[in-house]
Amino acid sequence: MSDHNNFGHNYNDIVQPTQQIEQVALSDISPQDKPWDKHRKNAEIISSYYKKGGMDRYAKRVDLCSRNLDFRLVDDKHRGCQKLKLFKAQFCRVRHCPICQWRRSLMWKAKAYEALPKVVTDYPQYRWLFLTLTLKNCELTDLRDTLNDINRAFKRLTELKVFPATGWVKSIEVTRGRDGQSAHPHIHCLLLVKPDYFAQGYLHKKDWIVLWQQCLRLNYKPILDIQAIHADKSPVGLIAEILKYQCKESDLCADADWFIEYVRQMHKTRAVSVGGVLRGYFKALEEEPEDLIGKDDESEKADDDDTVMTFRWNTRIKKYILVRITSCNTRNIQYKDTA
Ligand SMILES: [Zn+2]
């Protein structure tokens, strides 16, 4: 049994004749879909927090998010076997829903991966820098004002004559302070710089600190990090880092009161923004992705047999469990349902 795939060529190999299909968990038969259980479990926590905060409508929507997942069995040509491919789910699209936040980040990543080679073709000799800008923790109740200050400061930075980037992708991340009360907002930023940056107009870390301090109008030296991506390396991994989430799930789920205030503070703030020449390539990252399922790729064609497997969230055991297999060879004729 290989580690990436443990099923064969049709669902009879997945569900043994003697086995009840309600004993088959999504995470057991499709390792790549393991994250579903974790995110759905956290969605229950977040739903209860929305309820505690009096946001009943959001609580209800998150509670109903992705309860049923329909997968098709598709050929995975890269591996010469079959795998599950999601094709239907009902997403709540609530901003801080752990499932929707995860799906959104996957879709953004896919869009960024698609656009990146075009940038490399158009700017072949250009280099990438990865910049992290921080400041001291703020009171959670001041988070909104602090984010406004940070965004204004970043705009000032990009308008400086010495600012070396011709384009950038920037995201805001917030972590929960160690004291459990405060918030730690910071910026992750990928910068595209001219090929001669390291010879002309190069900024040392200490220069960046001075600039960031000036732009933020602080009376102390802020902490930041700047890394140059090696000329042979792609910034793909860092794009993933930028687009992963605004606040990690463990922080969102840690404390109801922190979460409720965080939601209030973050209302209608923007997660990702793109500037300079990169706007033309990465504009989609500023928008809510319409599709949270993910397009089929060329190598994933549905089988003629077109088997659909429906998994349902089981709140008791906190797993997605197989509840139905529909084989659509002669549409909806063969049908098993335990519900
Ligand atoms: Zn959701």
Q: How far is CA 176 from CA 14, 15, 24, 80, 103, in A?
A: 42, 43, 37, 44, 22
- Are the C-beta atoms of 48 and 59 separated by less than 8 Å? yes
What's the CA-to-centroid distance between 79 and ligand 1, angstroms?
31
What's the CA-to-centroid distance between 96 and ligand 1, angstroms?
8
Neighbours of ion ligand 1 (CB under 5 A): 65, 92, 97, 99-100
What's the CA-to-centroid distance between 201 and ligand 1, angstroms?
45
Name the average pLDDT for the chain.
89
What's the CA-to-centroid distance between 39 and ligand 1, angstroms?
9
What's the CA-to-centroid distance between 314 and ligand 1, angstroms?
16
Average pLDDT, integer, range 319-327: 91
Amino acid symbol at 57? R
| pLDDT tens for each residue of 256-305 | 999 999 999 999 998 899 999 999 999 889 888 889 998 765 545 555 56
Average pLDDT, integer, range 232-243: 88
Amino acid symbol at 213? Q
Q: Which residue spans within 181-279 are E strands per DSSP?
A: 182-193, 224-228, 272-276
- Are the C-beta atoms of 260 and 53 separated by less than 8 Å? yes
What's the CA-to-centroid distance between 100 and ligand 1, angstroms?
4
What's the CA-to-centroid distance between 62 and ligand 1, angstroms?
5
What's the CA-to-centroid distance between 80 and ligand 1, angstroms?
33
| pLDDT tens for each residue of 191-222 | 999 999 999 999 999 999 999 999 999 999 99
What's the CA-to-centroid distance between 34 and ligand 1, angstroms?
17
